[in-house]
Amino acid sequence: MKKEGSFKKIKNKVLIIGGLGFIGSNMIDELLNNEQYEILVFEFSGVTIRNPKIIGKVKIYYGDFTNKNDLEKVFSENLDIFLVIHSLSTTDPAKSNDNMEYDIKSNLISSINLLELMKKYLIPKIYFFSSGGTVYGRNLPKKVKEENEKNPICSYGIIKLTIEKYITLFHQLYGLEYIIFRLSNPYGMYHNSDRQGLINVILKKILKKEIVEIWGDGEIVRDYIYIQDLVKIVSSFIESDIKNEIFNLGSGDGYSINQIIDIITNIVGPFELKYSMKRNFDIKNIVLNNEKIKTYYHYKLTPIHEGIMETYKWLKKMETR
């Protein structure tokens, strides 16, 4: 395992697990606006830096999340970490049922190891990015509240929910402080997946002049949030006294895939589209009720048309590099 970067010794260290991923890269961008934070990143070896602005400004540890020794090196060298942000996942909802054992070992067991290390090194607080789209399951109300029944239908959702349970267990047993954010569907810059993240995937296929394939009839409804809004909201909690809470974090507005296609068409013009057989793990309608988080932080979100436009501009810019 190797590390990059060097820093002044300050006592406001934030460790981001999966910090070179989509959410992590944007989280760093936001935290760099506050000079008091020293940002550490733990990421799998071989993951590329998507956000060039972070080079020389964060300390990066490369290793294997499933190897507890690799992870422990970060904590043993940084005894003054005050917050861990856990944004790493090795699977996605579409593929998690194909290899459940891998999902358990690489995500659940590794996350429990992370909690054990936080206990050992007296790290006081964790923020965990859970999944508002998969932990609740089917037969939901129009807008899902945090306390609604949870019956995940894919391994990804089961693992996310189980990690939540272990975090709350560590709170009860050892006093670990936490905030769990159940995210809707973020989109925006630094996204790199070709499978997960409808808006970014469609825009990338359009730029590559590939056929956009939609599973089902396009009437599946989801809640989408612009990534820069998401990380701004999360960062606002760091200096607050809010702790030991679970929040839905989304727009609170639902859009069908066909509505998203219409918005994108209005921005980029017509493109080739193909509808295929629906998938059995797709839930028809999930929109997050965000009333709880708004009682703590009232936020104004980027309109979806504007967010998609900015995402498209960024992707076009990346294509020309």
- The yes-or-no verdict on residue 6 having pLDDT over 60 is no
* Same domain flag for 230 and 277: no
Give domain status of residue 27, yes or no. yes
126-171: pLDDT as tens digits? 999 999 999 999 888 999 999 999 999 999 999 999 999 999 999 9
* Same domain flag for 84 and 212: no
* Same domain flag for 192 and 136: no
Estimate the crossing angle of helix 110-120 against helix 155-174, to 10 degrees: 20
Q: Is 285 helix (H, G, I), strand (E, B) or coil?
A: strand
* Same domain flag for 90 and 202: no
Give domain status of residue 298, yes or no. no
DSSP lists the bridge partners of residue 16 as: 41, 85
* Same domain flag for 8 and 130: yes
* Same domain flag for 27 and 113: yes
* Same domain flag for 94 and 194: no
Mean pLDDT of the chain: 93
Q: What is the domain-level CATH number for residue 76?
A: 3.40.50.720
Give domain status of residue 152, yes or no. yes
Give domain status of residue 53, yes or no. yes
* Same domain flag for 107 and 163: yes
Give domain status of residue 15, yes or no. yes
Predicted local distance difference test score (pLDDT) of residue 8: 40
Give domain status of residue 264, yes or no. yes
35-63: pLDDT as tens digits? 899 999 999 998 989 888 888 999 999 99
Edge-to-edge strands, sheet with 254-256: 185-187, 221-226, 254-256
* Same domain flag for 8 and 49: yes
* Same domain flag for 17 and 33: yes
Cα–Cα distance measured from residue 30 to residue 16, given in angstroms and rounded to the nearest whole number: 13
Cα–Cα distance measured from residue 263 to residue 34, given in angstroms and rounded to the nearest whole number: 34
For the chain, state the CA radius of gyration: 19
* Same domain flag for 37 and 171: yes
Predicted local distance difference test score (pLDDT) of residue 321: 63
What's the CA dihedral at 236, 90, 302, 297 to 10 degrees?
-30
Predicted local distance difference test score (pLDDT) of residue 278: 81
* Same domain flag for 169 and 103: yes
Predicted local distance difference test score (pLDDT) of residue 193: 82
Give domain status of residue 295, yes or no. no
Predicted local distance difference test score (pLDDT) of residue 283: 81
Q: What is the domain-level CATH number for residue 210?
A: 3.90.25.10
Dump strand ranges (E) for the chain.
3-4, 13-17, 38-44, 59-63, 81-86, 125-131, 177-183, 185-187, 212-215, 221-226, 245-249, 254-256, 273-276
Cα–Cα distance measured from residue 231 to residue 161, given in angstroms and rounded to the nearest whole number: 21
Please tell me the total count of domains within the chain.
Answer: 2
6-15, 97-106, 278-287: the lowest-pLDDT one: 6-15
pTM for this model (two decimals): 0.94
Domain with 196, as residue range(s), is 188-223+253-287+303-316
The vertex-288 CA angle with 213 and 194, nearest 5°, equals 30
Give domain status of residue 294, yes or no. no
7 pLDDT band, cuts 50/70/90, is very low
In the chain, % of residues over pLDDT 90:
82
- The yes-or-no verdict on residue 9 having pLDDT over 60 is no
